[in-house]
Structure 1
Amino acid sequence: MPTLIETEEQKALRTAVAALGTRHGRNHDRDALWAEAGKLGYLGVNLPEAYGGGGAGITELSVVLEELGAAGCPLLMLVVSPAICGNIIARFGTEQQKDNWLPGIADGTRLMAFGITEPDAGSNSHRITTTARRDGATGDWLLTGRKVFISGVDIADATLIVGRTEDARTGKLKPCLFIVPRDTPGFERRRLDMELHATEKQFELTLDDVRLPADALVGDEDAGLLQLFAGLNPERVMTAAFAIGIGRHALARALDYARERTVWKTPIGAHQAIAHPLAQAHIELELARLMTQKAAHLYDAGDDMAAGEAANMAKYAAGEACVKAVDQAVHTLGGNGLTREFGLASLITAARVARIAPVSREMILNFVSHQTLGLPKSY
């Protein structure tokens, strides 16, 4: 897909990652692909050079994820480990936390999961009930709560958990972030039985008075939402890139089929009933990509407020475009679109994830109607 606003370095990155994705393909070995991407510097392209990263930004990391997705081998943990956790630690972590985590995240030898969603809170971060309190005798933190739909906890070395602490001045709870190593006592996980056939598994987490040292806290205890959205905005941008990559992959499969499948002496792609919906899918994916690029550039420029608005819009547009592209691709192939040989049927569920996670399209519409358009809330 042609690009208009990327630098020569970004275009070269896109070409190189596309070649890597093509070599591995949709039947890839996830661990092998992850290891090679790490050695080539793609996993940490957004992280500071001082800690083994590429010194670029979310703009470049989203290119990596999109191109791998377009080749049929998206790496979901790219959204979580370098984009969310890596960015938060790079921006707000202590020097010790940066030294300990960023080099491994950058080269792929260490993974970090991210735990925010709760069974009763959903998209409402203000209703998070996982709480953190200090042990006055030791200065340790004690975390108690539950999380759900947390990706890759079994393969991650630690999970960055979003909890809440009490503000001594107001008595209100505010969000705080804690690094919880995988084998910490009291930190339990249960795999969820998902219809989604992805390499990365989903888990429910239980934290029962999980004891953590004082230095497990990431950033300032009083920073609250600022630190949280330093990770959530990149998450939305990367989810958009994930969706665009999947949509492109599905569209490419459909185009190959439409050019070759012949009925009544003519390839089916010659018929407007086939050609026009595929053209529409291409247009909508391109538009979503432009919004994703805008959101990534705003985030990399340090404009968190504008990046939040753009990232939500990008995620919405990409999710819608992805679902439509996959649906049209399956429809183009007819019965073949549901066979394992062509690999499109499994994308139906994966595409739906882009509409739901990490925030539903309805919540994005709420955000835009209230924050952008200035309309009143009903809640």
Structure 2
Amino acid sequence: MDFTIPADIQAKLDALDAFIEKEIKPLENENDNIRFFDHRREHSRTDWDNDGQPNAEWEELLREMRRRADKAGHLRYALPKEVGGDGGSNLGMAIIREHLAKKGLGLHNDLQNESSIVGNFPFVHMLMGFASKEHKEQFLEPTITGKARVAFGLTEPAHGSDATWMETNAVRQGDDWIINGEKMWNTGLHHATHDMIYARTSGKPGDAKGITCFFVPTNSPGFKVEKFMWTFNMPTDHAHVTLRDVKVPHSSIFGEEGLGLQVAQTFLHENRIRQAASGVGVGQYCINESVEYANNRIVFGKPISANQAIQWPLAELQTECEMVRWLVRKTAWELDRHNHMEVSDAVSMCNYRGNRLACNAADQAMQTHGGMGYSRHKPFEHIYRHHRRYRITEGSEEIQIRKVAGYLFGFQGPKKQARLKAAE
């Protein structure tokens, strides 16, 4: 077994480091752009008088970062060659995401917005797998370049993980569909021209089939953003939406009628493994910063790193970080080689442990740094507030653990048929 980083991935890391120093760091420090990353960050990023939505200057800075990254050939690394990408592997993306997150806060990799010099494009993969020719022409390249924005409307006020019980419905009338319902945490709606709305078109509550995805123009009569939900980490682009007799043509269906959840689950494993890798990277950043601080902070005439009360929690975290790092890389490597469902449980292990690691490391970094760690003059409170979200979204910890247990006991996955046969 060889645990060294493959030469092509290491070359990419070196190129990314050089690009950050040459292009991104100067931009980050230009015209007081650093206000989006220092102690003023949340205030600078948020338009408090516009329902807490992202500040226009902040979003323009992110767009400029992505333009430069695309021009340099980094942004599309993980996308297929047919859309200008490098066809980067899951292993490559896991190593890159960890590497960038380990650098700490910065314009190179601001995960609050899923903005990075190496892009993560789940919607592009959805389009490539399920969209009609017309929808690809309408959304594919504009989505990559940021000229188009499509929001994602699956979760409802009363339904999150239990999406098959959603109450939003669509009824066909001739060549049109009439949609009624509500969506919650409808991300990306502050700039979106279209929203991917999932609605039941057939079947009964609890059925996986019978849910259809529609591209709904956000200026449609009856489509209303009730409010943007303020969150632990601001700004917000998470809307509460109501749909009252919204009419869309049959051609607005994304994918196949009744099979919308297949669209929603596209790229699920890749997205989760990349989140886990970012958790490892940011966890290592918090550990590294804490160790350096502890070695230099003198209390009662000696560095606090001499105290076991400081040493042991960080030693525990470093051990956890090493274990999760190698589980993430092994699982990413297997994703490149096997059917995704064969390693779905491992992806869930990576995801919930990586997200938990990030939160625990940020919390310990605050404790190690004392009062300064609690202040906004250090990045740990921001890291905690952001990564705490991932223990709920993209499948909560409980859902991830449920998946692991399902594979372990044969309620799901490869052992299921053997379990059912044994029960006969």
Tell me the TM-score range normalised by the shorter chain.
0.7 to 0.9
Secondary structure, aligned partner of 1:142: strand
Q: 1:180 to 1:243 in 2, by over 3 A?
A: farther
1:186 matched residue in structure 2: 222
Match of 1:4 in 2: 3
* Alignment equivalent of 1:100, drawn from 138, 155, 180: 138
- Structure 1 residue 222 displacement after superposition: 4.8
User: Is the contact between residue 284 and residue 321 of structure 2 (CA under 8 Å) also seen in structure 1?
Assistant: yes
Using the TM superposition, give the Cα deviation of residue 41 of structure 1 relative to its aligned residue in structure 2, in angstroms. Answer: 4.0
CA distance in 2, matches of 1:356, 1:311: 16
Quick check: 1:39 aligned with 2:64? Answer: no
Aligned counterpart, 1:196: 233
Q: 1:322 aligns with which of 346, 358, 369?
A: 358
Q: In the alignment, what sits opposite 2:420?
A: none
Instruction: State the partner residue of 1:72.
Output: 105
**1:268-303 deviations in Å (ceiling 9; x for gaps):** 234333233223223322332333334444444461
The answer on 1:344 being equivalent to 2:377 is no
TM-score (norm 2): 0.76
CA contact (8 A) 1:85 1:160 kept: no
Within 5 Å, give how 1:1-379 maps onto structure 2: 4=3, 6-18=5-17, 20=20, 23=25, 24=28, 26-27=37-38, 29-70=61-102, 71-73=104-106, 74-78=110-114, 82-136=120-174, 139-166=175-202, 174-189=210-225, 190-197=227-234, 199-301=235-337, 303-374=339-410
The CA distance in 1 between the partners of 2:242 and 2:4, in whole Å, is 45
Which is greater in Rg? Answer: 2
Distance 2:284 2:253 in 1: 40
Instruction: Mark the CA change 1:218 to 1:374 in structure 2 (over 3 Å): closer, same or farther.
Output: same
User: Aligned AA for 1:39?
Assistant: K
Q: What one-letter code is carried by the residue in structure 1 that aligns with 2:76?
A: G
1:293-316 CA deviation, whole Å, 9 max, x = no partner? 344444444613124322211111
Q: Distance in 1 between matches of 2:278 and 2:402?
A: 23
Tell me whether 296-305 or 13-22 shows the greater mean CA deviation: 13-22
Pair 141,122 (structure 1): closer, same or farther in 2 beyond 3 Å: same
Shift of 1:146: 1.5
- Identical positions, percent: 27
How many residues were matched structurally?
A: 369
What is the RMSD computed on CA atoms of the aligned residues? 3.2
Partner AA of 1:249 in structure 2: Y
Deviation at 1:330, TM superposition (A): 0.7
Report the more deviating stretch, 249-258 or 63-72. 63-72
Structure 2 CA distance for partners of 1:13 and 1:373, relative to 1, 3 Å? farther
- Cα distance, 1:333 vs. partner? 0.2
Q: Judge conservation of contact 1:44–1:54 (CA < 8 Å) in 2.
A: yes
Per-residue deviation, residues 247-275 of structure 1 (Å, max 9, x unmatched): 23323332331232122443323433323
Cα distance, 1:38–1:210 mapped onto 2, change above 3 Å? farther
Change (3 A) 1:329 1:18: farther
User: Would you say the 8 A contact 1:85–1:114 is kept in 2?
Assistant: no
2:418 corresponds in structure 1 to none
| TM-score, structure 1 normalization | 0.84
What's the CA shift for 1:11?
2.4
> Residues 329-353 of structure 1, C-alpha deviation per residue, up to 9 Å, x if partnerless?
1111011111121122233322321
The Cα of 1:154 is off from its aligned counterpart by 1.0
Structure 1, unaligned runs of 5 or more: none
